[in-house]
Structure 1
C-alpha cells in the first residue's frame, strides 16, 4: 500500500488473516470456527469435506486424525467441514471489524512474492515483509480508490485499476480485499497469520 503524495501518513490498526472452517451440522446455520492449535498444521486438503467435532471455541478433524480423549470430551457437536475461508479482520476504535473473506492462501503467497521484488508503480501499492515476523505489509497509494480521486491523482478510474491488477495475475480475492480497504481510505494493511483471534468478531458469508 502506498501513500498518496504530499499527504500526511494515516495508519489504521493492524489487520490480520484468520483461517476459519465453515461447518454444517443438523439443520442449524453454518458455524465458522478455527482449527484447534494441535491440528493447525493440517493442509486444506485434509480439512475440507472432512468429518469433525467442535465446541464454541475450536474444531477438531476426526476423519483420518487421532484426537486425544481429553480434547474429544470438550467437543459435544459433530459436523462436516464444507469449505475454508481466510477472513481479513481488524479492530478499530476498540470494536472488531470484518473486512472480507478469501477462500485460499493464494493471495498471501502472491503478496509475499511481491514483497521480495519492486512492486510495479502502476499497482498503487507496495508490499513489504515485516522483520522477525511471517506477516506481510501493504502500503496503499492514492487512496481512496474512487473514480473521482484516482482520476485526479493518477488519471485512471477504479475499474481500470482493477483490470490492471487482474491483468498482472493478482488473485481475485486479493483484488477485492485491497480495493475494499482502499475505498475506505486505509493506508496500511498487515496480513498476519499469527495474529490472535478477535473475540466477538461477527463473520459474514462472502
Structure 2
C-alpha cells in the first residue's frame, strides 16, 4: 500500500525556510483525534512526565487547546539513533507507555518528521488537509 504524503510537509512546501534554525508551527483542529483521545489528552497534558518523550505538552490558559513543543526532529530512525541510540518505534513505545494514544502519537510523529517545532491542537482551529478527521 502506498503511503500518503505527510500533510505537514505539504503545508510547509509553499513556505521555504530561509534560516536553518527556523522551524514551523501549526495549529490544527482537535477533530484530527478521536473524541476519547482528545479527552484523555487534556488530562495527560497536565500530568504526563514527558521528559524522555521528545516533547513537552502544555495547556493554554483561557483556551481548550493543548500545545506541544517537539524536540529532536526529525523523528526518523537514523536521526533518533544518532541522537539517542534508539529508533522511532522505541520512542513511540515510550510515548504509549506514558498513556498517549496511538492517534496522538501518529499526529506528533508526522509533525516531528516534518520538523515542526510547535504543534497546537485546538477544537476551534482549522483542519489540516490530508490529515484524517474523526467525528467529534
Q: TM-score, normalised by structure 1?
A: 0.48
Unaligned runs of 5+ in 1: 1-6, 19-85, 88-101
Count of residues paired in the alignment: 115
Report the aligned-residue RMSD.
2.7
Pick from 71, 77, 88 the counterpart of residue 141 of structure 1: 71
1:109 equivalent to 2:109? Answer no
CA distance in 2, matches of 1:113, 1:142: 24
Q: Name the CA shift for 1:128/1:9 in 2 (closer, same or farther; >3 Å).
A: farther
Q: Name the CA shift for 1:148/1:119 in 2 (closer, same or farther; >3 Å).
A: same
Aligned to 1:194: 124
Aligned to 1:10: 23
Q: Name the CA shift for 1:204/1:125 in 2 (closer, same or farther; >3 Å).
A: closer
CA distance in 2, matches of 1:188, 1:168: 20
1:132 equivalent to 2:62? Answer yes
Do 2:48 and 2:98's aligned partners in 1 also have CA atoms closer than 8 Å? Answer: no
Which structure has the larger Rg over C-alpha atoms? 1
Task: Look up the SS of the partner of 2:67 in the other structure.
Answer: strand
CA distance in 2, matches of 1:119, 1:202: 30
Larger RCO (alpha carbons 8 Å, 6+ apart): 2
Pick from 63, 80, 92 the counterpart of residue 162 of structure 1: 92
Q: Give, in angstroms, the shift of residue 114 of structure 1.
A: 2.8
Q: Name the CA shift for 1:117/1:203 in 2 (closer, same or farther; >3 Å).
A: closer
Unaligned runs of 5+ in 2: 1-19
